[in-house]
């Protein structure tokens, strides 16, 4: 093989040598163990020129529900879901590159909220699945990711995909991620004032692609959409929920139902006799949000990229198209929340939580982060057919640490 390579190199300059062109293709496998599901991202890269950033050629993406945290008491069954996803990578990556292709799993808020012991048992089983695979298993290949990285790596992904991390004129955009159990806000401060006014643990320097970015980022644990439902119902962090009925003005009056989250069963329902609708709901949700988040002045007027549940709920209510995404103002979520909450029975066919979810998103944006009514949100699921997820940023970071890229 190497002889043949040298033979070619006598005839071609290195960057057009056909053997090299092949050798410059590489893969990375990143698992996102989120609170509501587990996803595999298999990325293909080509390094055409050592001076440039590696080019992302494509992504294979698959997901399963529920997430690992639903297997708290059956870690082997949890790991089995990872194995089935990993089998896709066996087909996607050429066999001669298996040994060079790293596989990593990072868990987010679902596992952060679990007991240390149960979380570790799950991660151990997953690690065994990786060890039995033909792929490269780096040190720390299976872990719970720090919330700070979740924000930073999503920011890297979006700004890489929109071309803001290469070339001279870098106009980076901030990112908002709303998961099931936690939510992240990340941006590159432009004003000295912001750096001065921000608590130190909200600022992190990050090296990527030969640049250093000093980013504002924070992950709010317990402020994801599903955790917020529990908080609104008064059921978050409750030790014993058996037999208890949690009621809210954000739910249809006559509703009584059960909901499973993080391995716990909750009974919930509407305010049978009391009030329902946007106004009382907003007051309920406000208690969850108000005064709990840091509000950087700088963001009030600037536009942000928003994805995950911001995207999903905007699609559910026809604010944006599922394929196209779109640009919204913060007040569009409020308008929709009013529409849904004040006509609760009409929207019954979708999720009974739609009113609560939209109201929470409105309160989180306005009273939580302090965005203006007319702040623009660019809602995107994919850029150039690649998922806007922290997993791409994490894969770049991984390849860099392994010396596969710089």
Ligand X SMILES: O=c1[nH]cnc2c1ncn2[C@@H]1O[C@H](COP(=O)(O)OP(=O)(O)O)[C@@H](O)[C@H]1O
Known binding-site residues equal 180-184
Tell the smallest beta-carbon distance from residue 394 to ligand X (Å).
Answer: 12
Look up 150 and say whether it is catalytic. yes
Instruction: Kindly name the residue from 76, 128, 139, 150 that is annotated as catalytic.
Output: 150
Interface with Ca ion in residues 291-310 (CB under 5 A) = none
Q: Which stretch binds ligand X (CB under 6 A): 10-18, 33-41, 276-284, 334-342?
A: 33-41
Instruction: Work out whether 218 is an interface residue with ligand X (CB under 6 A).
Output: no
Binding mask 5-44 for Ca ion (x = CB under 5 A): -----------------------------x----------
Instruction: Work out whether 182 is an interface residue with ligand X (CB under 6 A).
Output: yes
Instruction: Work out whether 35 is an interface residue with ligand X (CB under 6 A).
Output: yes
Q: Kindly give the residue spans of alpha helices, DSSP state H, lying in 224-378.
A: 225-233, 278-289, 309-316, 330-341, 354-363
Residue corresponding to tokens 């909750």: 266
One residue of 246, 381, 386, 393 binding ligand X per CB under 6 A: 381
Q: Which is nearer to ligand X, 247 or 397 (CB)?
A: 397
Instruction: Work out whether 147 is an interface residue with Ca ion (CB under 5 A).
Output: no
Task: Tell me the binding residues for ATP.
Answer: 180-184
First-to-final CA distance of the chain: 26
Number of residues that bind ligand X (CB under 6 A): 22
Find all residues with CB under 8 Å of 371, minimum gap 6, and list them. Answer: 299, 300, 330, 365
User: Any idea what DSSP says for residue 325?
Assistant: B
Q: Which is nearer to ligand X, 189 or 393 (CB)?
A: 393
Closest CA relative to residue 371, chosen from 308, 311, 289, 316: 289
Interface with ligand X in residues 299-318 (CB under 6 A) = 307-309, 312
Instruction: Work out whether 110 is an interface residue with ligand X (CB under 6 A).
Output: yes
Neighbouring C-beta atoms of residue 240, cutoff 10 Å: 7
Q: Which is nearer to Ca ion, 39 or 247 (CB)?
A: 39
One residue of 26, 29, 31, 32 binding ligand X per CB under 6 A: 32
d(CA 277, CA 280) in angstroms, rounded, equals 6
Neighbouring C-beta atoms of residue 173, cutoff 10 Å: 17
Q: Which does 106 bind (CB under 5 to 8 A by kind): ligand X, Ca ion, none?
A: none
Interface with Ca ion in residues 164-203 (CB under 5 A) = 179
Closest CA relative to residue 252, chosen from 357, 364, 346, 361: 346
Instruction: Work out whether 181 is an interface residue with ligand X (CB under 6 A).
Output: yes
d(CA 195, CA 215) in angstroms, rounded, equals 9
* Distance set, CA 207 to CA 70, 165, 244, 344, 397 (Å): 35, 12, 49, 48, 9
Q: Which two tokens stand for residue 159?
A: 């700004």
Contact 44, 25 (CB under 8 A): yes
Q: Which does 389 bind (CB under 5 to 8 A by kind): ligand X, Ca ion, none?
A: ligand X
Tell the smallest beta-carbon distance from residue 182 to ligand X (Å).
Answer: 5
Residue 211 dihedral angles phi and psi, to the nearest 5°: -130, 155
Beta-ladder partners of 142: 105
Instruction: Work out whether 39 is an interface residue with ligand X (CB under 6 A).
Output: yes
d(CA 187, CA 96) in angstroms, rounded, equals 40
Chain residues binding Ca ion by CB under 5 A are: 34, 179
* Residues at the interface with ligand X (CB under 6 A): 32, 34-37, 39, 67, 108-110, 179-182, 224, 307-309, 312, 381, 387, 389
Query: Would you please indicate which residues are annotated as catalytic (active-site) residues?
Result: 150
């Amino acid at each position: 093989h190497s002889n043949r390579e040298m033979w070619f190199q006598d005839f071609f300059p290195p960057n057009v040598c056909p053997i090299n062109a092949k050798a410059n293709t590489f893969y990375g496998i990143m698992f996102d163990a989120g609170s509501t599901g587990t996803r595999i991202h298999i990325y293909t890269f080509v390094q055409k020129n050592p001076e440039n950033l590696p080019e992302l050629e494509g992504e294979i993406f698959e997901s399963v529900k529920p997430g690992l945290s639903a297997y708290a008491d059956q870690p082997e069954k949890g790991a089995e879901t990872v194995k089935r996803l990993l089998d896709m990578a066996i087909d996607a990556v050429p066999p001669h590159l298996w040994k060079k292709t790293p596989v990593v799993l990072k868990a987010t808020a679902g596992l952060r909220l679990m007991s240390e012991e149960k979380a570790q048992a799950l991660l151990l089983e997953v690690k065994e699945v990786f060890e039995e695979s033909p792929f490269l298993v780096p040190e720390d290949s299976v872990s719970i990711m720090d919330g700070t990285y979740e924000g930073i790596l999503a920011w890297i992904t979006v700004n890489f995909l929109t071309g803001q991390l290469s070339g001279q004129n870098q106009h980076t955009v901030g990112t908002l991620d709303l998961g099931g159990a936690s939510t992240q806000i990340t941006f590159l401060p432009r004003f000295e004032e912001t750096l001065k006014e921000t608590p130190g643990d909200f600022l992190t320097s990050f090296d990527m692609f030969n640049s250093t970015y000093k980013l504002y980022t924070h992950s709010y644990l317990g402020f994801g959409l599903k955790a917020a439902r529990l908080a609104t119902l008064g059921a978050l962090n409750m030790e014993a929920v058996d037999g208890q009925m949690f009621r809210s003005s954000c739910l249809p009056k006559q509703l009584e139902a059960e909901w499973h989250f993080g391995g716990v069963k909750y009974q919930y329902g509407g305010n049978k006799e009391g009030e329902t609708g946007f106004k009382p709901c907003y007051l309920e949700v406000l208690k969850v949000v108000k005064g709990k988040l840091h509000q950087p002045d700088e963001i009030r007027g600037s536009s942000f990229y928003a994805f995950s549940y911001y995207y999903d709920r905007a699609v559910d209510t026809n604010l944006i198209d599922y394929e196209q995404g779109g640009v919204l103002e913060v007040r569009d979520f409020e308008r929709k929340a009013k529409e849904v909450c004040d006509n609760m029975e009409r929207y019954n066919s979708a999720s009974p939580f739609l009113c609560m979810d939209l109201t929470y998103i409105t309160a989180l944006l306005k009273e939580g982060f302090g965005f203006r009514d007319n702040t623009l949100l660019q809602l995107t699921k994919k850029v150039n057919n690649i998922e806007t997820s922290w997993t791409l940023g994490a894969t770049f970071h991984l390849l860099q640490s392994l010396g596969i890229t710089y």
